[in-house]
Amino acid sequence: MKRNATWVVAVMVAATVFLHGPVASGEATTYNAEAADDTARTQKHASIKMTVRLSDGSCIMGAPNLVFIKLDTRLGEMTIPYELISHIEMDDDHERARVRLANGDRLTGVLNAGKLELTTRLGPLPVRFAHVRKIFVTLSNPLRASYLDGTTLIARTSLNKIEERDHSDTVVWSFTGLKSPYGAKRLRNGNTLINDYGNSRVIEVDHKGTIVWTYNTPCLDAYQLANGNILISGWGAKQVIEVTRNKKVAWSYKTPGHCGGAYRRPNGNTVVAAYNTIQEVAADGTVVWEWTGASKAHGIQCLPNGNILVANTGANKVIEITQDKRVVWEYSATTVTDAFRLANGNTLITHSTGTIEVTPDKEIVWSLMGHTSGRARR
């Protein structure tokens, strides 16, 4: 990918290469104090959420009072908005920090984050960096980098396992003992949520491979909402349910067909893939939008521009459809089972023989073959 040729980006790239080796793929971002100050004036704090992991293993969640950090590197000070950050990891001295950006780039330096305070459910809480081990940053934008640190998490359904692969395609984490797992998502606490379709259950697994939470139900997709609940798509049950961590059903909706996926919009509505129909449903169950041109639809994703990305399985296509029901992008592949738009504009697609990453111009830039069905996230 081409990178902007500004001197600021050149300095950033040089610093990253000097301190860490080659920069990971992805669009570079220009960092400067003026842009960061403008971001600080216009960014709504509520759209940025943090999960702070302390040295004793406990976690604090809330909205920060600041929207950027300053990082003193060997080549000077950089001002970086939180909205561009995936996570921050503190060294043992609690002064130097390793910053992973949402595009995969890495920076190291002395952290000057100011006096950080989180607005939590219990009120304002000051955070001392002497006690911090790691900070995860979350935006309301559903296309920002996830908690995967640039790796790819793949449900290899036909192989009965979940794999996490790094940039060099090396398996850095895996989980077996499953039966036709259809999807996996990395949670903000570092655990992995897996919909173990063949065993009719949703499980949460920690990094050591211990199952720490289970909900028994036939499930083709599941992911964690901002409130901590789990949104579960029941294929055979033809329903979507929102389940609390105490396993209580907080919300449900009966779909008109097999439910292959569901997505909660910021306005509280839920978009569901109901086989041959895509619906947007209000909290009271009222259908506020519907498209009946789908064909055995599986995975869906709501994009920030309001469009919906659909794995239109029966038509052997991935399509992006607007609110006025126009198809503005499509990609043909045999028996597509999922599609996920990445922050760089590319799309991860799982089909009958594996998973690929394609550009908006439909060029394949990455692939992993040898499995059928499932979903991939990065």
* Confidence at 27, pLDDT banded by 50, 70, 90: very low
The pLDDT tens digits of the residues spanning 52-99 come to 878 887 778 778 887 788 888 887 888 888 777 777 888 877 778 888
Give the pLDDT confidence score for residue 114 in this predicted structure: 63
> Using CA atoms, how far apart are residues 109 and 114, in angstroms rounded to an integer?
15
Average pLDDT, the chain: 81
pLDDT at 147: 60
Beta bridge partners of 164: 153, 173
Strands, E assignment, 210-352: 211-216, 221-224, 230-234, 239-243, 249-254, 259-264, 270-274, 277-281, 287-291, 297-302, 308-312, 317-321, 327-332, 338-341, 347-351
Hey, where are the domains in the chain? 7-139, 152-377
Q: Are 30 and 8 a contacting pair, CB within 8 Å?
A: yes
What is the pLDDT at residue 149? Answer: 62
Mean pLDDT of 285-292: 96
Q: Name the residue with higher pLDDT: 76 or 232.
A: 232
Looking at per-residue pLDDT, the higher value among 74 and 174 belongs to: 174
Region 355-364: mean pLDDT is 92
Mean pLDDT of 218-225: 91
Domain covering 152-377, topology? Neuraminidase (2.120.10)
- Please check whether residue 351 is in contact with residue 331, taking contact to mean a CB–CB distance below 8 angstroms: no
> What does the pLDDT average to over 184-211?
93
Q: What is the mean pLDDT of residues 303-319?
A: 93
Q: What are the residues whose beta carbons fall under 8 Å from the beta carbon of 91, sequence distance 6 or more?
A: 97, 98
What pLDDT, on a 0 to 100 scale, did the predictor assign at position 81? 80
Given a cut of 80, whether residue 157 has pLDDT beyond it is: yes
Is the pLDDT confidence value at 141 over 60?
A: no
pLDDT score recorded for residue 43? 36
Q: Please determine, for residue 170, whether its predicted confidence score (pLDDT) is greater than 50.
A: yes
